Amino acid sequence: MTAAVLFQNVSRHFGRIRAVDGVDLEVAAGEFFAMLGPSGSGKTTCLRLIAGFEQPDTGHIEIFGETAEGIPPYRRNVNTVFQDYALFPHLSVLDNVAYGLRMRGIDKAARRREAAEALALVKLPDYGGRRPAQLSGGQRQRVALARAIVNKPRVLLLDEPLGALDLKLREQMQEELKALQQALGITFVFVTHDQGEALSMADRVAVFNEGRIVQVGAPAEIYRRPRTRFVADFVGSSNVLPPEFTERHGGGRRWSSLRPEAIVIATAAPEGSGPGSLAATVLATYYHGATTRIVAEAEMTRLNVLVPASAGLLRPGDRVWLTWQPDDLHAMEDHA
């Protein structure tokens, strides 16, 4: 099957800044694909390369099998939901949504009908007559979404679409975006710096750092089997452990990742202590509602442990034992 988006060794440099540096990427048709990374990691430039706002310096880009480099944005069957929504302030909501159809020369009655349908799809059926300035942030977000999907693009690009919304609204929009993507069957490429958003919404995630893709995979794979220290650190907040520690606890001489929730904490020494067991001292506890984070020190190493809030109270200075399944101590690619 043809890939929705294909990058072959694509680079885009701005002067001496390597915004995108030799990226290979394949997004499958119908996939919800997230590009995750800190700011300046190249994820937004990758999105702009797909949209056509940037052209690659080297490398090759295909969108559904068609060469994309050299094709201007207005001749690509790709639409973007912008971070600041970029609604036209001088047009009504309906005219905003109908803009793409108007540019394609579709007659007024048809484009008004289709725009109204798109507005109904994003649950703003009666807002067509308003101006963008009269809408709330969440409503503008929906209009921007309607304006993009009304053109039935083959790929929908979303640039931090939920960044400006408050937490409650963001969770609601996450569900709606996911439902919309499944209903429309359009390939979504989604840029975010929020690892929780990427893990919960995407079919696959590409983790970006310094213009390169560090790891691509399903959310569970990225989370449980981070390839490098950067991924372990950026996705979730893992315990990144030095090679000596890994070696002592049954792994090779490599950096390793141990997820805080994979550690079991006990106040009594376990019977027949195996390789995955460690005496530690509690340094601090942090209450998070559903969970409690415990910071413990063992073998001169600090470890974060996440336990259900219902677990017994621990105090700084308490002597505890940490155990984990040998499989959970995941050795990464970084050597000593």
Partner 1 sequence: MRSDRTGRSGRSPLMLKLAAGAGLLFLHLPILIIFVYAFTTEEKSYQWPPPDLTVKWFAIAWERPDVRDALWLSVRTAATATAVALVLGTLCAAAVSRTRFFGREAISLLVILPIALPGIITGIALRSAFSLAEIPFSFWTIVLGHATFCVVIVYNNAVARFRRTSGSLIEASMDLGANGFQTFAHVILPNIGTALLAGGMLAFALSFDEVIVTTFTAGQQATLPIWMLEELVRPRQRPVTNVVAMLVVAVTFLPILAAYYLTRDGDQVQGQGK
Residues that bind partner 1 (CB under 8 A): 51-53, 72-75, 78-80, 82-90, 99-100, 103-104, 132-133, 137, 140, 144, 147, 151, 164
Q: Which is nearer to partner 1, 53 or 286 (CB)?
A: 53
**Nearest distance in Å: CB 26, partner 1:** 23
**Nearest distance in Å: CB 79, partner 1:** 6
Q: Which is nearer to partner 1, 75 or 113 (CB)?
A: 75
Strand ranges of the sheet holding 5-14, from the earlier edge strand across to the other edge: 17-27, 5-14, 58-63, 66-67
- Identify the three-state secondary structure at position 1: coil
Q: Which is nearer to partner 1, 112 or 147 (CB)?
A: 147
**Nearest distance in Å: CB 101, partner 1:** 9
Q: Please state the φ and ψ torsions of residue 171, each to the nearest 5 degrees.
A: -65, -40
Strand ranges of the sheet holding 277-287, from the earlier edge strand across to the other edge: 264-266, 319-323, 277-287, 291-298, 301-308
Q: Which is nearer to partner 1, 20 or 307 (CB)?
A: 20
Q: Which is nearer to partner 1, 152 or 212 (CB)?
A: 152
Q: Which amino acid is at 264?
A: V
The two tokens of residue 71 are: 């094709």
**Nearest distance in Å: CB 140, partner 1:** 5
- Identify the three-state secondary structure at position 138: helix
Residue 164 burial by Cβ neighbours in a 10 Å radius (0-12, 13-18, 19+) = middle
**Nearest distance in Å: CB 78, partner 1:** 8
**Nearest distance in Å: CB 164, partner 1:** 5
**Nearest distance in Å: CB 134, partner 1:** 12
Residue 147 burial by Cβ neighbours in a 10 Å radius (0-12, 13-18, 19+) = buried
- Identify the three-state secondary structure at position 34: strand
Distance CA(79)–CA(94), nearest Å, equals: 17
Q: Which residues pair with 292 in a beta bridge?
A: 287, 307
Q: Which is nearer to partner 1, 90 or 288 (CB)?
A: 90
Q: Which is nearer to partner 1, 147 or 204 (CB)?
A: 147
Distance CA(265)–CA(268), nearest Å, equals: 9
Distance CA(330)–CA(16), nearest Å, equals: 36
In Å, what is the CA distance from 286 to each residue of 235, 291, 295? 20, 9, 8
Q: Which is nearer to partner 1, 27 or 146 (CB)?
A: 146
- Identify the three-state secondary structure at position 74: helix
Distance CA(256)–CA(125), nearest Å, equals: 52
